[in-house]
Amino acid sequence: MVAPDLIDPFHRQLYNKLDQEIQERVIALSEGSALKITDDRQSVTEKYAAQVSYIKALRDVLEICKELEQDRYGSRPRQAEDD
């Protein structure tokens, strides 16, 4: 996911951290993290749905961060600076 042009340092850090978490979860899911383990009561479908829902929730948080940025700073681009 391409990071938006966020002004607030907190939102930039949060966005980067959550984006990293999403990428790690997507990779884990693609590598079979939803597979059924012996004596596991959850089905593969239930595990897959839960993990996809979590990824969706993280993406929703990223969208909320962008909305908060827009509300607080408007649509002005941030000044170039080192993070």
Task: Calculate the average pLDDT of the chain.
Answer: 82
Q: How far is residue 31 from each of residues 17, 24, 34, 43, 81, measured CA to CA in Å?
A: 21, 11, 9, 17, 37
Distance CA 56, CA 58 (A): 5
Asked if residue 22 is part of any domain, the answer here is yes
pLDDT surpasses 50 at 27: yes
pLDDT tops 90 at residue 2: no
Structurally, how many domains does the chain consist of? 1
Q: Is residue 41 part of a domain?
A: yes
pLDDT given at position 78: 57
In a domain, residue 37? The reply is: yes
Tell me which residue has tokens 């700073």.
Answer: 73
Does residue 31 sit within a domain?
Answer: yes
Q: Evaluate whether residue 3 is within a structural domain.
A: no
* Contact predicate 32/23, CB 8 Å: no
**pLDDT over 90 (residue 54):** yes
The domain of 22 spans 17-73
Asked if the structure places residue 53 within a domain, the reply is yes
Question: Model's pTM, two decimal places?
Answer: 0.72
pLDDT at 83: 47
Q: Is position 5 within any domain?
A: no
Judged against a pLDDT cut of 80, whether residue 81 lies above it is answered with no
